[in-house]
Amino acid sequence: MRASADGGGGDVPEGVYGASRAAHRRAFYECVSDLLEEPEVRRMGAHRQHGETSRLKHSLNVAYYSYRVAKALRLDCRSAARGALLHDLFFYDWKECGLTPLGHARLHPHIAHTNASCVTDLNEVESDIILKHMWLCSRDRPIYGESLIVTLVDKMCACAEALADVPVKGGRGRRRQGP
Ligand SMILES: [Fe+2]
Ligand SMILES: [Fe+2]
């Protein structure tokens, strides 16, 4: 679950472009390590989200990149990471429930928020992140910069994950990237 320590910084000395990738990963995992110990959070690993990507992997992708963007913009990167990690904390199968895609898009943020509230005490930013992350599909507009970041990063990660296993013509399929 923990990030590897390789960092991938190449020959660039740490500090030239800010903290190294390994340092960012360490700081990120310090923000969410308690949540990753929670059985309900780990349970997301058994559920598929986009393509072959599990819900836990998707949530980690969204959390890590939201953390990096929020940190670069000097926003509350800890709340961005924690809210994003919990933004899809639901376990129902929307097709089995007879929901339409739009119905699911509007319902699951509320289910996730209820579930996340049972896992940890949510602050206002984290609550807004979870409840508003489907903005544009839902009419619940984010009121915090961190929430706006998560809703955009969520959509980018969903596209990348869905396309990750599509074979590239004349070559091998792309490998998924993540924190
Ligand atoms: Fe979602
Ligand atoms: Fe998501």
Residue 1: band (very low, low, confident or very high) from pLDDT cuts 50, 70, 90: very low
- DSSP string covering 83-122: HHHTTT-----TTTTT--HHHHHHHHHHHHHHHHHHHS--
Between the CA of 38 and the centroid of ligand 2 the distance, in Å, is 19
Task: Judge contact between 76 and 70, C-beta under 8 A.
Answer: yes
User: Is 70 exceeded by the pLDDT of residue 67?
Assistant: yes
3-state secondary structure at position 53: strand
**Residue 164, pLDDT score:** 83
Please classify residue 36 by burial: count the beta carbons closer than 10 Å to its beta carbon, then call 0-12 exposed, 13-18 middle and 19+ buried: middle
Task: Report the C-alpha gap between 127 and 83 in whole angstroms.
Answer: 7
User: Is 60 exceeded by the pLDDT of residue 24?
Assistant: yes
Residue 10: band (very low, low, confident or very high) from pLDDT cuts 50, 70, 90: very low
Domains and CATH numbers, the chain: 21-163 (1.10.3210.10)
User: Is 90 exceeded by the pLDDT of residue 61?
Assistant: yes
Task: Report the C-alpha gap between 144 and 106 in whole angstroms.
Answer: 19
Between the CA of 43 and the centroid of ligand 1 the distance, in Å, is 16
User: Is 50 exceeded by the pLDDT of residue 3?
Assistant: no
Residues contacting residue 169 through CB under 8 Å, at least 6 positions apart: none
Give percent of the chain above pLDDT 70. 83
Q: pTM for the whole thing?
A: 0.84
Between the CA of 51 and the centroid of ligand 2 the distance, in Å, is 13
pLDDT in tens, 123-179: 999 999 999 999 999 899 999 999 999 999 999 999 999 888 776 666 555 555 566
State the chain's mean pLDDT as an integer.
87
Between the CA of 65 and the centroid of ligand 2 the distance, in Å, is 12
Name the residues around ion ligand 1, CB cutoff 5 A.
88
**Residue 110, pLDDT score:** 97
Task: Report the C-alpha gap between 50 and 175 in whole angstroms.
Answer: 14
Residue 84: band (very low, low, confident or very high) from pLDDT cuts 50, 70, 90: very high
Between the CA of 130 and the centroid of ligand 1 the distance, in Å, is 8
Give 142's Cβ-side CA count (13 Å radius): 24
3-state secondary structure at position 138: strand
